[in-house]
Chains A and B, each alone.
Chain A
Amino acid sequence: EIVMTQSPATLSVSPGERATLSCRASQSITSKLAWYQQKPGQAPRLLIYGASTRATGIPARFSGSGSGTDFTLTISSLQSEDFAVYYCQQYNNWPRTFGRGTKVDVK
């Protein structure tokens, strides 16, 4: 199965600053990558699919890039509601697999 490796495990950022999260696949997944946000006690929410397409209603401060094995989620200016855990997920191969997540907390 494809292993998704996210880094860092925790990212401490001040409100208004830029956050850059990384996700690496153990083999090429073309652009079949999604990003999700999860807040404590809530279900995950889809942010990005196709590596770079924002899902419906997702603010423009969220952007995704990459293809093949290396991907990035960028939050251009962190808002208070953006402090959460972020997961990447590949949907190019079976079984589908998630990364272990990056927690974005307040610096």
Chain B
Amino acid sequence: QVQLVESGGGVVQPGRSLTVSCAASGFTFSHYGMHWVRQAPGKGLEWVALIYYDGRDKYYADSVKGRFTISRDNSENMLFLQLNSLRVDDTAVYYCARWGISADHDALDIWGQGTKVTVSS
């Protein structure tokens, strides 16, 4: 079945780096753009980044631009988010999600279960 599984979360000190990953299965990963979305404890959803199916185009939320980098490895069906210069307010559950509807509709149709990142000294 179509599935996304995130990993790599944990506790990290402010200013340090972390990479979270998302393993895709059950669909042709290289045909789909992918998103990262995060959710701080008790808060709403915040869109973080998107990467096109071939990795050529990437977009970021203003709050993470210049600190986070989205990437993918289509040969391994993997999506990544490198989080640099982490701040306490980056603490959240990070979800990967598929851009699955059509070229004109990049709504997020499949979501992973999330991986928790805690930034704390």
Q: Which residues of A pack against B, CB within 8 Å?
A: 1, 32, 34, 36, 38, 43-46, 49-50, 55-56, 85, 87, 89, 91, 94-101
* B interface list, Cβ under 8 A from A: 35, 37, 44-47, 50, 59-62, 95, 101, 105-109, 111-114
CB-CB nearest in chain B for A32: B105
Could you tell me the distance between the alpha carbons of A4 and B88 in the complex, rounded to whole angstroms? Answer: 25
| B106 nearest in chain A by CB position | A91
Using known A-B contacts A43-B112, A46-B109, A49-B101, determine if residue A89 contacts B47 with beta carbons closer than 8 Å.
yes
A87 to B95, CA, bound (A): 15
Question: In terms of DSSP, what is the predominant structure of the interface of chain A?
Answer: loop
Name the distance in Å between B38's Cβ and chain A's nearest Cβ: 11
Judge whether A95 and B61 touch: CB under 8 Å. yes
In the bound assembly, the distance between CA atoms of A53 and B60 in angstroms comes to 26
Minimal beta-carbon separation of A8 from chain B (angstroms): 15
Total A-B residue pairs with C-beta atoms closer than 8 Å?
64
Residues of B close to A46: CB separation below 8 A: 107-109
Pick from B44, B45, B101, B114 the residue with the most CB of A within 10 Å: B45
Cross-chain contact B44 with A87 (CB below 8 angstroms): yes
Taking the closest CB of chain A, its distance from the CB of B26, in whole angstroms, is 14
Q: A32-B105, A55-B109 are in contact. Are A43 and B114 (CB under 8 A)?
A: yes
Q: Are B95 and A43 in contact (CB under 8 A)?
A: yes
Contact of A49 with B107 in the complex, beta carbons under 8 Å: yes
Q: Is the CB of B44 within 8 A of A97?
A: no
Q: Chain B contacts of A87 at CB under 8 A?
A: 44-45
